[in-house]
Amino acid sequence: MRWLMKLPAEEAETNPVSLFAILGVAGMGKSALAKLVHDDPQVPTNFDIVVWVKVSFEFSAAAVVSDILTSIAATEPASSASAHLAEKLRDKKLLLILDDVWEDEVRGRWEDLLSPIRSAKRGSKILLTTRIQSVADMAATTLGGEFECLKLDGLQDSDNFLLFKSLLNPDVNSQDYANLLLIGEQISKMFGACPFLTLAVVSHLRDDLKTSWTDVLQQHWYQIEGIYSILPSLKLSYDHLPAQLQICFRYCSLFARGHKFYMDKMVDMWVSSGLIPFASREPGDSLPATDNVSLLNPVDVGEEYFTALARKSFFCRMVETDPCGANQKEYYVLHSLLHDLAQLVSRGECARVDNGGFQDVMWTTRHISIANCGILTHERARKISYLRSLRTLIIESESCLDQETEFLLGEILKSTKCLRLLQLSVPSPFHVLDRFPNLIHLRYISLISCDESHLHKIFKFYHLQVFKLSYLTAKEPDLSDIYNLRCLRSLHIPDNMSSKIHKLGRLTSLQVLRGFEVVQNDGSRLSTLSNLRSLRQLGLMNLQNVQNCREAMEVKLKEKHDMRILLLSWNRYNNDTRVDDQIIGNHEPNREIQILHIHGYNGSVLPFWIANSLLVNLVSLELEYCIKWKSLPSLQELNLLQHLKLQHLFQLEYMGLGLEELTDTNESGIVCLPRFLRSLIIGWCPNLNILRTIPPSLEVLILKHVGFLVLPGIHQRESKTSVKSELTFVHIQSCAHLTSLDKGLLECQEQLGSLSTLIISHCESLRHLPRNGFAALHHLKFLEMVACPLLKDGNTAGNILPISLKNLDINPCGSIDVSMLLSLRNLSFLTKLTLFNCTNLEKLPPAEIFGTLQVLSDLSVARCRGLLSFGGLGAVSSLRMLSILCCDKLNLSDSPQGCCSFMLQELRIDCQALLFVEPLQSLRYTKELYICNDCAMESLAEGWLLQNATSLHSIKIGIAESLQSLPSQMDKLEALQSLHIERAPLMKLLPQLPASLSKLTIWGCDPMFMKGYEKDVGPNWGQVAHIAHVDIMSYSEGMSCSDDQIQGFEKNAYNPRHQFVVIE
């Protein structure tokens, strides 16, 4: 609504109509949201004409124009409807809602529609709903400007469960039906966060019994009676694809939900499996549009297919940031509903075999992925062996295979003679590889490891195109037979292997070569690469071993016109500066290069092709450990550059302008970065004191160990209108000279409308937050404040947190800890709260604050040494995971504030006495209990266990040196499946254990205790003989446990989770 009501910008003089697109797969509520906008009472007072048009699958501009004329009660003339509409809209402010649009191919159709709409009054709007990103792109391009977009990716799990509960019958009481709701919580996670499916499933289950609810958990949503009706709507997206894209989309069903798809790997698999043959571009064919009229390389075709699926919103682009925030990698995911659709439409062609059974393997199946080798039997292996058309076989296992499974897989490989792609993601699959000789048609093989004998078998697969190997057991392998692989185009092998291939130039089809090591005193080595004219990706390592400029020129990098990715790497500890300065200039790549990484260059002179910005097609540039560079040129002429990483440039002082010019120039006019840059990573550049501005296009900003005094601001164009930033992720760490956040980037928070993640850590001089805290960051989802000990809240007023916050991590930050907790009130979207080492904290917030946190599901409190009370914790009804560790001063006799209103999935504590304090004392329906390192605990709390008996399925006790026995009524814990105990040397005897128990683990017990439960011979073995997995070990010096107090504390950073260990 803010977009709808805001005043038009100055740029709207030439583009009077602005566009907003709502994107999402079927069932996400796009049309429902547009209807809410349409019906809002503010709309008629702000627009002269409001029109809703349901656009048909076959886009017709004439039909849409006719619908608009009809809706505004205008008779359609016999001559030109378009001209008539233009006249009717003149000087009228229009809101046009185009619902469910599909047209993304013919721009002329959009031009026919939008031409008369341009005559509408300045400030007119078009609201578009579509499933396809490229539809919005084409509409915006035709309209002649940028557009705003809202992607409906689905509800959060907690929100979807709230919707699920709200749709139940009013007489269903959450306490009476607690177990039913726990099942319902799992069911609500099955629908891809799709509100339409949630509504349909709850309508189906509303009056059903627990047994039916449990049955639903074992099914796919599309197998549930009454839910199948959404499939035709969802399948429209698939039916709208060209046939070639449909084939490639179906292949994606081989991978698990949430799988990370990387373009290069996926294209290699498509090509090798035969999905993309060599093709030529003919007029009128159904290939995605391209500027090339003749495209003979299947890899190029595959990349176009992948890009087309992304533009059509089948793949969603993501950015992967490592836990340290220093590296990024682009990948794509399928929405879970589209993944389910892929499985449906690929039945009979593709099958993914996991724990769900084997029914999808049919005699017509051509592509199989086995995600769990443990379910293989002789019968199932025989069924796969009979598949004469099998082209793809992907086998995954995290652990080594047992002898029987290896035999079964070997039998499969022995029979599948037409296989084109084999991926063995299995450690040490040596016995499986003995069946290799039959696989003569292989185009693609990926292995974790193999030995030299199997390597020579692979070198006889003359059609092999892609070879990937992570580890070779032989130290000095004979690789001479690799020259048989004349079709090989992609080689991914350990770095030490490439240096042993002495005539690599004979592999003239090679397109990808990573980690080619230059060996000292072997002048012919680089010259062997001169014949590899088809190279698209090359990594050259140990360039300090290049002897002279002539040798460097023999690589002929500039003549490799297909090359797009180049890595140049020196051993930074063993360089000759004078030689490096001469050689790097002779490694100039062709002008079409897109990705360039330079690592360890020890020269002081920048190569001229960087200094003069000659590589105008660069998309990614990474410069690391070039420790003698003091300046970098302005990179603003690299208009295509999207990713820039500068790391360990220890002497770097400035970019673009010199220091004196930087001081004298108005900061809003300074531009030294490309205007379309999307990610900027600067790390370990302690002498870089200033970067005035960053471009508005930037999405990711990571600054670590940089000497900035002030954070950079957003570059403003020469316009009175404030430019909005695209920043979504900001990480500021160890900037030792940074004292305030009140200037620069966070000063004008209204510009940061897209910022969702903000991490500020280890800035030891930082004293001041922004004047109003972070309250104006209206889309901030994740906030982490870590180890900024001088921070104070003296310059802030009121609430300092935005209501949009979903994840808050406070890790000692001066005096602002308490202020932040007081600002929790009404954070109705907060799902996770972490408090670590907040020494000033004496009490958790009262019930008046906790009660407003409607979706808080995960609370972790650790090393808050001054904490005395749980406060109003019991008021958080949505809590599912609770961890209380190393809070030694908690008052165990504290009077409760109200009753406990939550049901926990997981409880972690390090003091069992907390179970006798409210709200933990009143807990029911807890599923998992972890007690870490309670050295005073002599027995478990029997009463508490019994009141959770119907739900508790896992108990883990770590380092219980005083534990003498378990409760006598342990057998009444009817749901218990796993019991794990560590370091309990005083235990003498186990009580009767429940029949449901399937796993018993006791490590570090008394040797006599262990002997009593020795399998088949121990006098007490009969007590545990019914348990499927029993592992009892006495304590020995070789065990990993020590006398140190070790407690695990999980702490969520941004997207990844990582483990923090507290050692006392």
As its CATH architecture, domain 2-151 has 3-Layer(aba) Sandwich (3.40)
Is 556:530 a contact under the CB 8 Å cutoff?
Answer: yes
- Please give the Cα distance from 565 to 917 (Å, whole number): 61
| Structure token pair of residue 26 | 């079927």
**Across 158-167, 701-710, 868-877, 998-1007, least confident range:** 158-167
Helices (H), 555-658: 577-585, 608-611
pLDDT at 225: 61
Residue 695, Cβ neighbours under 10 Å: how many? 20
Assess whether pLDDT exceeds 50 at residue 272. yes
Q: Is residue 698 a contact partner of residue 666, using CB atoms and an 8 Å limit?
A: no
Contact predicate 935/911, CB 8 Å: no
CB atoms near residue 169 (< 10 Å): 8
pLDDT over 90, % of the chain: 39
Distance CA 619, CA 261 (A): 20
Residue ranges with strand state E in 24-68: 49-54
Give the CATH number of domain 494-629.
3.80.10
pLDDT over 90 at 1046, yes or no: no
> pLDDT higher for 515 or 279?
515
Retrieve residue 783's tokens. Answer: 């906030």
Tell me how far apart the alpha carbons of residues 469 and 454 are, in angstroms, rounded to a whole number. 12
Longest dimension (CA), the chain: 101
Total H helices, total E strands in the chain: 30, 41
Q: Of residues 772 and 985, which shows the higher confidence score?
A: 985
832/806 Cα distance (integer angstroms) = 6
- Between 1026 and 548, the higher pLDDT residue: 1026
Q: For the chain, give the percent of residues with pLDDT over 70.
A: 83
Please give the average per-residue pLDDT across 823-839, as a whole number: 90
CATH code of the domain made up of 241-345? 1.10.10
> Residue 983's pLDDT is what?
92
Q: Compare 779 and 1038 and report the one with higher pLDDT.
A: 779
User: How confident is the model over 391-424, as pLDDT tens digits?
Assistant: 999 988 877 777 787 888 888 888 888 899 999 8
User: Is the separation of the CB atoms in 980 and 1004 below 8 Å?
Assistant: no
Residue 126 bridge partners (DSSP):
19, 96
pLDDT surpassing 70 at residue 850? yes
Residue 414 half-sphere exposure toward CB, CA atoms < 13 A = 12
Better-predicted residue by pLDDT, 704 or 15: 704
Among the listed residues 899, 992, 990, 909, the one whose alpha carbon sits nearest the alpha carbon of residue 956? 909
State the pLDDT confidence band at 433, using cuts at 50, 70 and 90: confident
Report pLDDT digits (tens) over 493-511: 887 777 778 778 888 899 9
Answer yes or no: are the C-beta atoms of 247 and 271 closer than 8 Å. Answer: no
DSSP state of 606: P
- Distance CA(465)–CA(446), nearest Å, equals 11
Per-residue model confidence (pLDDT) at position 293: 37
pLDDT (0 to 100) of residue 719: 55
The pLDDT assigned to 294 comes to 44
Strand 595-599 vs strand 620-624: parallel, antiparallel, or unpaired? Answer: parallel
Task: Give the pLDDT of residue 817.
Answer: 80
Q: What is the pLDDT of residue 157?
A: 74
CA geometry: angle 1016, 1018, 1024, nearest 5 deg: 70
- pLDDT tens digits, residue range 66-114? 888 888 866 666 567 888 888 888 888 999 999 999 888 888 899 999 9
Sheet-wide strand order for 17-23: 49-54, 94-101, 124-130, 17-23, 148-151
State yes or no: pLDDT of 824 exceeds 60: yes
What's the mean per-residue pLDDT of the chain? 83
How far apart are alpha carbons 457 and 435 in whole angstroms?
Answer: 10
- Residue 824 in contact with residue 801, Cβ under 8 Å? yes
Q: In this structure, are strands 315-321 and 328-334 parallel, antiparallel, or unpaired?
A: antiparallel
Lowest mean pLDDT among 577-586, 771-780, 817-826, 979-988: 577-586
331 three-class SS: strand
Q: How far apart are CA 599 and CA 625, in angstroms?
A: 6
671 token code pair: 């531009």
CB 732 within 8 A of CB 763: yes
Q: Which residue bears the tokens 């009969």? A: 1022
Q: Which pLDDT does position 153 carry in this prediction?
A: 80
Which SS3 state, helix, strand or coil, does residue 983 take? Answer: coil
* Residue 591 near residue 568 (C-beta atoms within 8 A): no
By residue count, the chain amounts to 1064
Distance CA 336, CA 496 (A): 40
Which of 544, 370, 825 lies closest to 361 in space, CA to CA?
370
Range with the largest mean pLDDT of 19-33, 838-852, 973-987: 973-987
β-sheet bridge partners, residue 370: 353, 395
The answer for 925, left when phi > 0, alpha when psi is -120 to 50, beta otherwise, is: left
How far is residue 554's CA from residue 545's CA, in Å, rounded to a whole number?
A: 14
- Residues 408 and 414: their CA atoms lie apart, in Å, by 10
CA distance 1062 to 1064: 6
Give yes or no for residue 521 having a pLDDT over 60. yes
- Do 117 and 96 touch, CB atoms closer than 8 A? yes
In the three-class reduction of DSSP (H, G, I as helix; E, B as strand; rest coil), residue 307 is classed as helix
- Helices marked H in 881-1032 — which ranges? 942-947, 1007-1012, 1021-1024
Q: Which of 93-102, 374-383, 594-603, 1005-1014 has the lowest mean pLDDT?
A: 374-383
Q: State the pLDDT at residue 748.
A: 87
C-alpha 440/C-alpha 437 separation (Å) is 7
pLDDT digits (tens, 9 = 90+) for 282-310: 444 445 544 443 446 899 999 999 999 99
pLDDT in tens, 238-271: 998 999 999 999 999 999 988 999 999 999 999 9
**What DSSP character marks residue 255?**
S
Helix (H) or strand (E) run with residue 113 in it: helix 107-117
Is it the case that residue 894 has pLDDT exceeding 60? yes
Angle between helices 81-89 and 61-71 (to 10 degrees): 40
Helix (H, G, I), strand (E, B) or coil at 990: coil
Neighbours of 744 (CB within 10 A): 22
Rounded to an integer, what is the distance from CA 1017 to the centroid of its chain? 51
Selected residue with higher pLDDT from 222 and 390: 390
Instruction: Give tens-digit pLDDT for 443-485.
Output: 999 998 888 888 888 888 899 999 999 888 877 778 888 888 8
Q: Which of 130, 144, 64, 132 is nearest to 101 (CA)?
A: 130
